[in-house]
Structure 1
Amino acid sequence: MPQLLPISDQLNNVIDSLSMFRPELCLSVLFLLVMACDLVYASNRGRASRMLTCAGFLLVLVANWGEYIETDDHVLFLFNSNLILHHSNIVLKMIIDAAAFAVVLFFPWDDQLRKHGKGLGDAYTIITASVLGLHLMVMSGTLLTIFISVEMVSIASYLLVAYRTESGFSAEAGLKYVLFGMAASAVMLYGISLFYGLSGTLNLFDGNLITYLQQADTAMVTLAVVLILAGIGFKLSVVPLHFWVPDVYQGAATPVTAYLSTLPKIAGFGLLVTFLTPFIANLAWNKVDFITLLSVAGIVTMVAGNFAAVWQQNVKRLLAYSGIGHTGFALMAVVTFSAQGIKALNFYLAAYAVANLGALMLAGYFANTMKAESLDEYKGLGFKYPVASVCFVILLISLTGIPVSAGFNAKVIVFSAVYEVYQQGHNVMLLALLVTGAVTTVVSLFYYIKIPLYLFLKNQESEGREYPSHKKILVTIVVLSAIVVLLGIFPDLLANLM
């Protein structure tokens, strides 16, 4: 009987963990319901599945809010430490749920997706499964759960990118994404195998983890850590793992681009923070200098993303490169390795998600109504579509970081967190991050301002044909723009929850 006690303890831990696993259980049930709904109501081309998915995401958001209240600043280890729950990752889960809700709303408003021969029921099923994977990415506490959750999200992303099978460009983007994604997964898995061989555990929060790694060869430990970070960096589009982003973002349907540029990135940062925590928390760790490593990655990513965006003419490619730049800026908050830095990161990701989703919705709106996808095709549209164009300016102001906008407050909070840590240790890498962040913010103004320039100050050479478009998308865009302004004036409405 004594031999059965460990198994009994594990089963009790699993049962106790279920009460704090409600959002993920809801997502699992929602996935099955959406799939069944698509089979039963296949004739309505996914409308019933969409309504069910939106309602389900709102329910999951409420369940996460309940968890947020219940945790009360405690760190909970669920399912025998395979998953971790605390305030910070619950906040990220809520941001993911809200962004997923907006993306699902956006899907049928895209002409190319709406005319898809198979309908959109499959897409809603895939998104629901991916959100479950994103939740698990944020909560992962072992290398095994990290790999499984990343692969769940990767497979869903591959399917979404290539969803428009009738489009050769979309199929090419999907194939490119699959090939690069498989290579990144293989690299990450090799790093995990090395990590396990050196430490003897998959649990990141095992008490003996750092002790065993400290005794191992420095070169092998560094290689294992770098390979795992490379797998995470692929999801974050960190330079030099960004090469897939422009072509995939341009080739995918605009709602899929909105999904790729926000949800996996948010979950990726949550995963990165979790992976780094046991090393940063242990003062004995001296094998890998994470501050230098991530600072160099952040600087290169900010410079490459922002300067490459200056030369872009296609709006989606421009937003793709700007997203790479934003990844580098968000890494500044991670490098602080402080509670203030993590709160700044969460606020920044929320502000970026709102503005970026709105900007891509507007890119889709102009593509639908005027078949305008490049800057030259935006000439003179500002006065023809004043509401959409003014909202575009507001959202771009936020992405740039100009007052009064959510993006400005987010950047100020990140700069403050980095500067406070720099004052304590005067680390030159943090100073380099601050300088690079300020310079690239100015550079971003040069390419973001090109869109209002073409909308309002360039004359339309000829009257293009106007196509019908969903007016509901404008309502959503106005709401997102209002949120950006509201958080610009009253940042504490969201900052206090972080």
Structure 2
Amino acid sequence: MHDLIPNIHQQLTGILGDINYFIPEIFLSLLFIVVLITDLLFGRNSERLCRIVACGGMMVIISKDVVQKLYMGDDVRFLFSGMLVQSHTGVVFKLIIDISALLLLLYFAWDEPLKSHQKKLSDLYSITIAAVFGLHLMAMAVNLLSVYLAIEMVSVASYLLVAYRSENAFSTEAGFKYVLFGAASSAVMLYGMSLLYGFTGSLSLFDPAFVTALIQVNTAGVVFAMVLVLVGMGFKLSFVPVHFWVPDVYEGAPTPITAFLSSVPKVAAFALLINFLTPFIINPQFKAVDFGLYLSVIGIVTMIAGNFAAVMQNNAKRMLAYSSIGHTGFALMAIVTFSAQGIKALAYYLAVYVIANIGALMLVTYFNRITGSDDVNSYKGLGFKYPAASICFVIILISLTGLPISAGFTGKLFVFSAVYSVYQSNHNVLLLLLTITGAVTTVVSLFYYLKIPLNLFLKRTESPAEPITQPTAILIAAIIISVVLILLGLFPDWLTRFL
């Protein structure tokens, strides 16, 4: 104890210095408390006020992210005794998370089944903000302890979000499945982390002794531990073979929650995967695990499984669930390059995917209020009755597919370019297979994404009905998203200059 006393002043000084790099997270903590207190003070009448506070606060946090990005530049700084890291890539991913979260906070009140819930939406805003705080920590975690705590913070918040409509049996079942699968994956990941700690005696991924100790350990033990840890991360990324929970949970959850699960946690999980892999990739002596081989195989299988399974779906939410699995596999292509160009391509791809995916699910909500169903066959003949929403739906789906002139096309082009650039230097056949699989599955995705435009514009319903007046909020948001996707496709440098 007496040996620690002289170091207290130095540690406190270090913590106070690190706080300057932790400003967005501090504001998130304060925002969570303010929204929670607002809910407690105003009770059932607090829903609108909580929404205003949450959205306003998130805009402030986005501004803090921008300031931090400009302040940090390309510097890398380890915070709080190496528990977290602040880097250019991490700040970019956090900015994507926060902009997406703001869009989702607005979206929650536009979903009628969720809005009509007896508990109202006040709790939903505070839970979402807590989840965003956990996502920030995921993007910054470089210590096995902080990795586990960040993932669990996001997981607990996600469980609550999925089962928020507790009066709905389908939603409750989805929440129960998510808790069971999530608990199992967390246990597996924690066991892998305990093995890594036992092998190395350290929890810090960037501690030089961490990788050095693993080099001296039996290869089979290291591979086993790494696979277990990747299972936990793969649960958030929903790549094969830990993707089986996705269709049922996404279909059973309220549509805005499906939009949250299928987009924002993926961004944080990819940032976490980058942090986890970096210490091993930069050390040429570490050869126990060929991450390029493992992730390439996972990416190929995930693209095939996600896209081909989506072809067989007629439920729009299940179709988008399987397509999100396919998109995860495609994004893994950028990770496998282990290059700065690949990471930049990944950031662009995830940014435009998240925007398009949220827009697609907004329009699923829009047409559900018209038809009372998420089945794409119920969209027959609606394209000419609701032309603005239908045209926006087509544009967003074009971007998700990756067709010109959309931002999705540019994102896929950047990823292909990054993979091919690395292939030219090392002629790794796995990169070639990834490229071929990505191209083939992009064509396959046409077969299910085009189901919606086909029903909207080319098929007729047998019982025509008068158009139903819809709230304009979702339509305005969909139009803005569609315009953004086209503009970013035509002028990608508007986004790439900030990545």
Question: TM tier, shorter chain?
Answer: over 0.9
Map of 1:269 onto structure 2: 270
Q: Does 1:49 align with 2:47?
A: no
Amino acid at match of 1:272: L
Q: 1:237 to 1:205 in 2, by over 3 A?
A: same
Amino acid at match of 1:313: N
Query: Shift in Å at residue 469 of structure 1?
Result: 3.5
Query: Shift in Å at residue 151 of structure 1?
Result: 0.3
Map of 2:153 onto structure 1: 152
TM-score, normalised by the number of residues in structure 2: 0.98
Amino acid at match of 2:299: G
Query: Shift in Å at residue 7 of structure 1?
Result: 3.0
Contact 2:18 2:80 in 1 (8 A): yes
Contact 2:385 2:467 in 1 (8 A): no
Amino acid at match of 2:235: F
Contact 1:368 1:468 in 2 (8 A): no
Distance in structure 1 (CA, Å) of the matches to 2:414 and 2:18: 34
Map of 1:15 onto structure 2: 16
Map of 1:77 onto structure 2: 78
Distance in structure 2 (CA, Å) of the matches to 1:230 and 1:374: 32
Query: Shift in Å at residue 496 of structure 1?
Result: 1.5
**Runs (4+) off by over 4 Å:** 464-468
SS of match in other structure, 2:384: helix
Query: Shift in Å at residue 12 of structure 1?
Result: 1.5
* 1:68-467 correspondence runs (5 A): 68-464=69-465
Contact 1:45 1:118 in 2 (8 A): no
Please list every run of 5 or more consecutive structure 2 residues that lacks an aligned counterpart in the other structure: none
Query: Shift in Å at residue 45 of structure 1?
Result: 5.2
Query: Shift in Å at residue 208 of structure 1?
Result: 1.0
Instruction: Count how many residue pairs are aligned between Structure 1 and Structure 2.
Output: 498
Contact 1:161 1:173 in 2 (8 A): yes
Q: 1:2 to 1:374 in 2, by over 3 A?
A: closer
Distance in structure 1 (CA, Å) of the matches to 2:406 and 2:4: 61
Map of 2:31 onto structure 1: 30
Identical pairs, percent: 55
SS of match in other structure, 1:77: strand
SS of match in other structure, 1:31: helix
Query: Shift in Å at residue 108 of structure 1?
Result: 1.0
Cα deviation digits, residues 144-193 of structure 1 (max 9, x gap): 00000000000000000000111110000000000000000000000110
TM-score, normalised by the number of residues in structure 1: 0.98
Distance in structure 2 (CA, Å) of the matches to 1:423 and 1:270: 26
Cα deviation digits, residues 44-81 of structure 1 (max 9, x gap): 25111011000011100000111100111010111111
SS of match in other structure, 2:289: coil
Query: Shift in Å at residue 2 of structure 1?
Result: 7.2
* RMSD of Structure 2 on Structure 1 (CA): 1.1
SS of match in other structure, 2:343: helix
Query: Shift in Å at residue 465 of structure 1?
Result: 7.4
Please list every run of 5 or more consecutive structure 1 residues that lacks an aligned counterpart in the other structure: none
Amino acid at match of 1:462: S
Mean Cα deviation higher: 42-51 or 257-266: 42-51
Amino acid at match of 2:260: Y
Query: Shift in Å at residue 238 of structure 1?
Result: 0.4
SS of match in other structure, 2:494: helix
Distance in structure 2 (CA, Å) of the matches to 1:45 and 1:400: 40
Contact 1:204 1:278 in 2 (8 A): yes
Map of 1:471 onto structure 2: 472
Cα deviation digits, residues 276-310 of structure 1 (max 9, x gap): 00000101110000000000000000000000000
